[in-house]
Structure 1
Amino acid sequence: MSVLSSPQFYPPRLNPVLTRLCQSFSDLLADNFYKLKLVVESTDLEKLARLEEERVVYLPNHPTLDDGVVLFLLSTRLGQLFHYVVAYESFRGWNKKFLPLMGAYSIRRGLGDRASIAQTLKLLKQPSCDLVIFPEGGCSYQNDTVMPFRTGAIQLPLQAMNQMVKQGEPVPNLYLVPVSLKYHYTDSMKPVIDQTLSRLEKAFNINAIAPNFYGRLRGVAEQVILRLETEYDLNLDQSTQMDWNQRINQLKTRMLSECEQKLELTPATMTPIRERVYKIQSVLKSRAQELEEFDETTYESIYQATVRLLNFDAIYDGYVAASPTPERFLDTLTRLEREVFKFNRPLAKGHRKAMLRIGDPINLKEHFESYRQNRAATVEMLTQQLQQTVQENLS
């Protein structure tokens, strides 16, 4: 199978000339193809320009699948060349060659990807470096709320510093930059919301009887939940006595349990759902040929379950009600479309402003001594601080 014949790691092969060429028309391409325009304050750009010759790790939240494009636009504004840590699954088709030329390299989530870790440490030990890591570890599909940050994005820079010090170098400067990214539609999205709801209602053969968009959204969501509960043999009489968040969590638990049982994995109940899903996907890929030869439906059912789990990982009842913006409506509707119509990468619903806010950079040099005294506590403290900053700057 092709999965087994693919390289285990795609290293960066940054081509400065080609990257500069792509940067020269990146704003035009983003505006016309991705339907987005970068908006960032000049004061934030000045803040980053002062770090031009330093080692810098950018840590943005990850609300959509277009966020890498936005960070590339940021590199264009700064006139710099970035490296990017990108999910292994993105290196398909022409992206296998193109992404490395732009400075991207792969990471296989769900296992200790030694090659990717080694590449990150190598880059961070260079005299200057601009590296983008999405610390949530995956796409949240939520415009203005942040999923828990993974500690690796903070731990690796400190590890690189520690290696340099052990080699006799002075404690270097190395900056972590919290980046808050959210999108705003530039036009009225009421017609798009109405059309999207109508397509979903038609798929379930239900009438739009609710008096407003939110009522219609809940009507569609109820049908999606019921269909999944039926598919996974959950007791509908018991389920309907639960609130929606309980039902969503019950579904996630059942899907995870079935996947782990089929792959004979020990359930890691104390591990975040996203981490468990990545491990399932890694094991699934390693056993792809064996499973497909034995029972192709088993492979496909496990794979589809992991797609669903990642799609609905951060979802909760009340997300839209708390702030019924067009962005939150369409975040949720896009999730439902991915489930109902099996879209892998839905097109943008409309033209957007990609709003970037840059938090104050943290120089890890100032935290290095505390890291040497208590590594785990220092990494956890910095992780929480960066996550909080990114979340606060989304408001």
Structure 2
Amino acid sequence: MKSRSSRGGNGSASQPFYPAKINLPLLRGLQHIAPWLIRSRDRVELVISSDPKVQLETLRGRSCLLVCNHPTFDDPKAMFLLSSRLQEPFYYLTAYEQFRGLQGWLYQRLGAYSIRRGLADRDSIAYTLNLLQQPQIKLVIFPEGGCSFQNDTVMPFRSGAVQMALQAMSRKLKQSEPGDADLYIVPISLKYRYTGSMTPVIENTLRRLERALGVSSEGDVYIRLRRVAAKIIDRCEQEAHLAPDPEADWNQRIARLKAEVLDRCEQELGLTSAAGEPNRERVYRILYALEARQNTLMPDGQDALDVMFRAVRRVLNFDAIYDGYVAAMPTPERFLDTLIRLEREVFGIDQPPPKGHRQAFLRIGEPISLKDYHAAYRADRANTVNNLTRQLQQTVQQNLDLLAEATSRGISW
């Protein structure tokens, strides 16, 4: 059973918003040692590529909203390494739950500020709009809304980042001469590649899961992976009291499991969700409601909340997973993407330690000037926001595909 502090709350309801408090001497010092520190501690090094029309220098001095896919928990570190290359401070829109203790204090000094995901966080929105109107600002947002745990595919982008950027651009144009105001959105694709042989790591991880679940280790690694996954799906359905459906495939079973968990939790907590609302937004709202309720319950009422906490976190863990992800491209990265999810489920480890040394390939797409979209935004805000959001998502996915092709052929940028 997880302790209260491990559920994601920071235990400080008195501070609803954490602003950035950049300390330039501290920031510069950490930028200087970051490549060595992150390579040795997190086993990650950054490799930067770009669209042929983009040079790294073109970003320097510009006001930019950097939108990036979010495959791992190490992505903010990769973006910090990019800030180190540019020798500029970045701001980071960061989950509220990260601002606890010394870690939260440090994050604020490095440019992070909080967002309560799944809620209308007016303080964070107002702060973001103000930042985007500043000169030479660099703001990092991960528009998938959370970590996907998938190295090659992008989850649907939320439209909030584009909406705030266009709104800020509109305000900038009102406050300055048209030629002086600029704000760019830069699509960034991030993909990791293990640099060594990962066969022993995959084998050891599989064996550990097989022992914990009591399943056979016969067959090749893909058959064994599917056997472990099948056992976990069966167990999750049993815990949710869902009767087996022999006609359903794995994707249907996972979708049914997630829908059942969210519907039950919302009903228990008196919450409602809009039609088509992303699962992640529903999860975040449920988690905030659970945090609020646990403070009013007697200790003997905590067990029911623990069950709901575990259930909705399972939805986040399996949000982007689908049957066939490994079979479509059986790379070490895809095997380990899936195994890490299964480890998180079976062993209750939020962030398993690095499996090996990785290169973080970061591809910078062509900056998009929001001045070019201002007239369309004034005429039709909703369609302009949605179309630009979709365009950014497609660009990030296309550049991920280019990175996948290049890394599969062993190209070094």
- The TM-score with structure 1 as length reference comes to 0.95
Which of residues 289, 295, 298 in structure 2 aligns to 1:289? 295
Corresponding residue number in structure 2 for 1:130: 138
1:295 Cα shift?
Answer: 1.3
Matched-pair contact (CA < 8 Å) for 1:45–1:78: no
Compute the displacement of 1:47 (Å): 2.4
Q: Kindly tell me: are residues 42 and 232 of structure 1, through their superposed partners in 2, closer, same or farther at Cα, counting changes over 3 Å? A: closer
The aligned amino acid for 1:77 is R
- Paired amino acid for 1:296: Q
Alignment check: 8 A CA contact 1:4 1:286 kept: no
The more displaced of 352-361 and 294-303 is 294-303
1:345 aligns with 2:345: no
Q: Distance in 1 between matches of 2:53 and 2:395?
A: 18
For 1:181 and 1:379, how far apart are their aligned partners in 2?
23
Deviates more, 1:159-168 or 1:106-115: 159-168
Range 247-256 or range 266-275, more displaced: 266-275
Note the alpha carbon deviations across 1:288-334, whole angstroms, 9 max, x for none.
Answer: 31245571112212211221110000000000000000000000000
1:279 maps to what in 2? 285
SS at match of 1:287: helix
Query: Which of residues 182, 186, 198 in structure 2 aligns to 1:189?
Result: 198
Aligned letter for 1:155?
Q
- Residue 22 of structure 2 is matched in structure 1 by 14
Q: Which residue of 2 aligns with 1:225?
A: 233
Residue type of the alignment partner of 2:247? Q
- Pick the aligned partner of 1:119 from 127, 134, 156: 127
Q: 1:160 aligns with which of 164, 168, 184?
A: 168
CA contact (8 A) 1:110 1:281 kept: no
> Are 2:99 and 1:104 equivalent residues in the alignment?
no
1:312-327 pair list within 5 angstroms:
312-327=318-333
Decide whether the 8 Å contact of 1:142 with 1:331 is kept in 2: yes
Report the CA distance shift for 1:261/1:42 in structure 2 as closer, same or farther (over 3 A). Answer: closer
Instruction: Say whether the 8 Å CA contact 1:185–1:353 is kept in structure 2.
Output: yes
Q: C-alpha distance in 2, partners of 1:379/1:32?
A: 41
Q: After superposition, where does 1:65-80 map in structure 2 within 5 Å? A: 65-80=73-88
- Aligned pairs for 1:173-188 (under 5 A) are 173-188=182-197
Structure 1 segment 353-392 matched on structure 2, within 5 A: 353-392=359-398
Counterpart pick for 1:56 among 53, 64, 87 = 64
Correspondence for 1:89: 97
Residues 66, 185 of structure 2: 8 Å contact kept: yes
Matches of 2:128 and 2:15, distance apart in 1: 18
Q: Distance in 2 between matches of 1:96 and 1:277?
A: 23
1:6 Cα offset (Å): 4.9
Separation of aligned partners in 2, 1:205 and 1:256: 29
- 1:312 is aligned with what amino acid? F
Question: CA separation of 1:8/1:43 partners in 2, compared to 1, >3 Å: closer, same or farther?
Answer: same
Q: Is the Cα–Cα contact under 8 Å of residues 67 and 140 in structure 2 kept in the other structure?
A: yes
User: Which 10-residue stretch deviates more, 268-277 or 249-258?
Assistant: 268-277
In the alignment, residue 59 of structure 2 is paired with which amino acid? L
Distance in 2, Cα, partners of 1:155 & 1:390: 18
Q: CA RMSD in A?
A: 1.7
Counterpart residue number, 1:331? 337
Code of the aligned partner of 2:20: P
- Quote how far apart the aligned CAs of 1:384 are: 0.5
1:266 maps to 272
TM-score by length of 2: 0.91
**CA deviation string 1:127-158 (max 9, x = no partner):** 22001000111000000100000001101011
Partner in structure 1 of residue 313 of structure 2: 307
Q: Which residue of the partner structure matches residue 411 of structure 2? A: none
2:238 partner amino acid:
T
Could you tell me which residue of structure 2 aligns to residue 151 of structure 1? 159
* 3-state SS of 1:3 partner: coil
For residues 111 and 6 of structure 1, the distance between their equivalents in structure 2, rounded to whole angstroms, comes to 17
Q: Tell me the CA shift for residue 169 of structure 1.
A: 4.9
Asked whether the equivalents of residues 155 and 379 of structure 1 are also in contact (C-alpha less than 8 Å), the reply is yes
Deviation at 1:78, TM superposition (A): 1.1
- The Cα shift of 1:91 comes to 1.4
- Give SS of 1:41's match: strand
TM-superposition CA deviations, 1:251-288 (whole Å, max 9, x none): 10111111111101124342111111111122222333
Superposition pairs for residues 203-218 of structure 1, below 5 Å?
A: 203-210=212-219, 212-218=220-226
Distance change in 2, residues 1:375/1:5 (3 Å)? closer
Shift of 1:5: 3.8
Match of 2:11, SS state, is helix
Residues 262 and 283 in structure 2, CA contact (< 8 A), matched pair in contact too: yes
Letter in 1 for 2:306: E
Give 2:409's aligned residue.
none
Letter of the aligned partner of 1:225 in structure 2? I
Unaligned runs of 5+ in 1: none
